[in-house]
Amino acid sequence: MGGSPRAGAWRGAAAPVGGGFPPHPRAAIVSVGDELLLGETVDTNGTWLARQLSDLGFRVVRRWVVGDVPGEIRKGVGEALSTAEVVAVTGGLGPTPDDLTLPTVAGLLGLGLALDTEVLSGLEARFQARGFGVLPEEAKAMARVPEGARVLANTRGSAPGLALESGGGTVCVLLPGVPAEMKGIFRDEVAPLLRARFSSRLEPVSHRVIHTTGIPESLLAREVARLELPADPTVSMAFLPDLRGVRLRLTARGRPGDPGVQEALDRFEERLEPAVARFRYRSQVGDLAESLGQALLIRNQTLATAESCTGGLIAKRMTDHPGSSRYFLGGVVAYANPVKEALLGVDPVLLEEKGAVSREVAEAMASGVAARFGASAGLGITGVAGPGGGTELKPVGTVWIALSVGGAVVSRREFFTGPREDVRERGAQAAMALLLRELEGTEP
Give the span between the Cα atoms of 246 and 121, in whole angstroms.
52
Q: Which of 212, 200, 202, 272 is nearest to 236 (CA)?
A: 272
67 binds Mg ion (CB under 5 A): no
Q: How far is the CB of 39 from ligand ATP (least distance, A)?
A: 12
Residue 93 binds which entry of ligand ATP, Mg ion, none, with Cβ cut-offs from 5 to 8 Å by kind? ligand ATP
**Residue list 46-65, contact with ligand ATP (CB under 6 A):** 46
Q: With beta carbons less than 8 A apart as the criterion, state whether 20 and 54 touch.
A: no
Give the span between the Cα atoms of 332 and 380, in whole angstroms.
10
Estimate to the nearest angstrom the gap between the alpha carbon of 150 and the chain centroid.
31
- DSSP character string of 160-227: PEEEEE-TTS-EEEEE-SSHHHHHHHIIIIIHHHHHHHHGGG---EEEEEEEE-SS-HHHHHHHHHHT
User: Which of 76, 91, 184, 386 is the binder for ligand ATP (CB under 6 A)?
Assistant: 91
**Residue 89 or 430: which CB sits closer to ligand ATP?**
89
- Piece of the chain touching ligand ATP by CB under 6 A; list 175-183, 233-241, 317-325, 426-434: 175-183
- Piece of the chain touching ligand ATP by CB under 6 A; list 34-42, 129-137, 321-329, 371-379: 34-42
254 binds ligand ATP (CB under 6 A): no
By CB under 5 A, the count of residues binding Mg ion is 3
For residue 379, the 8-state DSSP code is E
**Residue 91 or 245: which CB sits closer to Mg ion?**
91
Q: Is 81 helix (H, G, I), strand (E, B) or coil?
A: helix
- Piece of the chain touching Mg ion by CB under 5 A; list 88-96, 106-114, 277-285, 394-402: 88-96
- Piece of the chain touching Mg ion by CB under 5 A; list 32-40, 111-119, 328-336, 381-389: 32-40
* Whole-number Cα distances in Å, 355 to 12, 228, 319, 361, 362: 71, 47, 30, 8, 10
Q: How far is the CB of 76 from ligand ATP (least distance, A)?
A: 13
Question: Helices (H), strands (E): how many in the chain?
Answer: 16, 17
Q: How far is the CB of 31 from Mg ion (least distance, A)?
A: 10
88 binds ligand ATP (CB under 6 A): no
- Piece of the chain touching ligand ATP by CB under 6 A; list 8-16, 27-35, 299-307, 344-352: 27-35
**What's the CA angle centered on 302, arms 344 and 317, to 5 degrees?**
80
Residue 261: which H helix or E strand, with range?
helix 259-276
93 binds ligand ATP (CB under 6 A): yes
Q: How far is the CB of 101 from Mg ion (least distance, A)?
A: 8
Q: Is the Cα torsion angle 79, 81, 85, 86 positive or negative in sign? A: positive
- Piece of the chain touching ligand ATP by CB under 6 A; list 93-101, 230-238, 303-311, 413-421: 93-101
Give the span between the Cα atoms of 391 and 442, in whole angstroms.
38
Cβ contacts of residue 26 below 8 Å, gap of 6+? 58, 59, 60, 61, 83, 84, 85, 86
**Residue 91 or 214: which CB sits closer to Mg ion?**
91
**Residue list 398-417, contact with ligand ATP (CB under 6 A):** none
**Residue 68 or 287: which CB sits closer to ligand ATP?**
68
143 binds ligand ATP (CB under 6 A): no
User: Which of 9, 27, 29, 33 is the binder for Mg ion (CB under 5 A)?
Assistant: 33
User: Which of 7, 21, 41, 258 is the binder for ligand ATP (CB under 6 A)?
Assistant: 41
Q: With beta carbons less than 8 A apart as the criterion, state whether 25 and 86 touch.
A: yes
Residues at the site binding ligand ATP, with contacts judged by CB under 6 A: 31, 33, 35-36, 41, 43-46, 90-94, 99, 157-159, 176-179, 181
Residues at the site binding Mg ion, with contacts judged by CB under 5 A: 33, 91-92
